[in-house]
């Protein structure tokens, strides 16, 4: 996170006190563990809903969702600020739809999106982070695409992963193929990384979609990202959180690039709360650095916080 934050220029926001304050980000994932970076100084996990184990309080028996949450708003408590997230004063609403193996049912993802719609005012949810995806089989007719489109149309900013099935063209995963949402690829996927036990490179999903929509929209760092780890064995008994240090872990994929962009959008919304999804897309388009990759690989380019907030 220390290097990734430099890459996307978050220091510019830090120096000006822009920190995503009060912006709610729903993390639709494997859950979120109450890591010290997320709860010690201030509890940033303001809401939690579990569609898998039906537990009341936050936990994560896989680790993926906690890593994502750390990228968004971890404050670096356990690393003296070294591995802090992008928007440290934003809030996380954990929506657990994936099991301990990281897989799940489309029906649970859709139920999660509906729950977010029902609770968006309560938690000031402005952004939905979906670091999940499946192979594009049904195109834009798929239930998952219709679900994220409904969330977008209701005023939520949906940020989703391009998937790790590159480098061939047409490898964006569902729901990242949606023409409405913001789809994020990895800017550093030339590095050889471990994803799901396989060593791969050039993994970031490439556009266009079957409907010839240009995707991804933007790219951000996604390779070898060090962020919050989890205690997979932890089961929440009550609202009191464990205090032991769990430390950090390294993960790679467009799943890690996606929360970088969610964090950047939280910074933008904390400064200009009236912006709509359309406004943000137009702003993102002007706020990137061209890496010299093809459009099908990088979209508009690498997100740059300074350009975004200026």
List active site positions. Answer: 29, 64, 255
Report the relative pairing of strands 193-195 and 248-251 from DSSP bridges: unpaired
Q: In Å, how far are 32, 64, 271, 272 from 310, measured between CA atoms? A: 32, 32, 10, 11
95: part of which helix (H) or strand (E)? strand 91-96
Name the burial class of residue 171, with classes exposed (0-12), middle (13-18) and buried (19+) by CB atoms within 10 angstroms of its CB: buried
Peptide bond between residue 267 and the one before it cis (omega within 30 degrees of 0)? no
251: part of which helix (H) or strand (E)? strand 248-251
User: Chain centroid to CA 308: how far?
Assistant: 18
Do 227 and 85 contact (CB within 8 A), yes or no?
Answer: yes
How many whole angstroms separate alpha carbon 272 and alpha carbon 5?
Answer: 21
Q: In Å, how far are 65, 140, 143, 161 from 264, measured between CA atoms? A: 18, 27, 28, 15
**Residue 215: how many CB atoms within 10 A of its CB?**
26
Residue 173 DSSP one-character state:
P
Dmax (CA) of the chain: 51
To the nearest 10 degrees (0 to 180), the angle between helices 143-153 and 106-123 is 10
Do 39 and 78 contact (CB within 8 A), yes or no?
Answer: no
Rg (CA), the chain: 17
């Amino acid at each position: 996170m220390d290097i990734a934050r430099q890459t996307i220029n978050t220091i510019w926001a830090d120096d000006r006190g822009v920190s995503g304050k009060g912006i709610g980000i729903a993390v639709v994932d494997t859950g979120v563990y109450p890591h010290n970076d997320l709860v010690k100084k201030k509890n940033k996990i303001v809401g939690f809903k579990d569609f898998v184990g039906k537990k009341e309080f936050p936990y994560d028996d896989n680790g993926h969702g906690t890593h994502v949450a750390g990228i968004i708003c971890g404050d670096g408590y356990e690393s003296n600020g070294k591995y802090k997230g992008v928007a440290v004063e934003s809030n996380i609403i954990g929506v657990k739809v994936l099991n301990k193996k990281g897989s799940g049912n489309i029906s649970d993802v859709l139920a999660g999106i509906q729950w977010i719609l029902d609770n968006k005012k309560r938690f000031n949810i402005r952004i939905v982070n979906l670091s999940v995806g499946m192979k594009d089989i049904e195109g834009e007719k798929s239930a998952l695409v219709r679900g994220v489109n409904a969330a977008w149309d209701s005023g939520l900013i949906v940020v989703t992963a391009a998937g790790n099935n590159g480098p061939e063209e047409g490898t964006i995963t569902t729901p990242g193929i949606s023409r409405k949402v913001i789809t994020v690829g990895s800017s550093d996927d030339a590095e050889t990384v471990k994803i799901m036990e396989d060593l791969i490179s050039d993994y970031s999903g490439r556009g266009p979609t079957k409907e010839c929509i240009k995707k991804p929209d933007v790219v951000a760092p996604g390779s070898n990202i060090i962020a919050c780890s989890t205690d997979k064995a932890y089961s929440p008994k009550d609202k009191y959180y464990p205090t032991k240090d769990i430390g950090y872990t390294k993960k790679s994929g467009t799943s890690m690039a996606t929360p970088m962009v969610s964090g950047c959008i939280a910074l933008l919304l904390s400064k200009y709360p009236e912006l709509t999804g359309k406004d943000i897309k137009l702003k993102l388009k002007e706020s990137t650095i061209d890496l010299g990759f093809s459009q099908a690989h990088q979209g508009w380019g690498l997100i740059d916080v300074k350009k975004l907030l200026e």
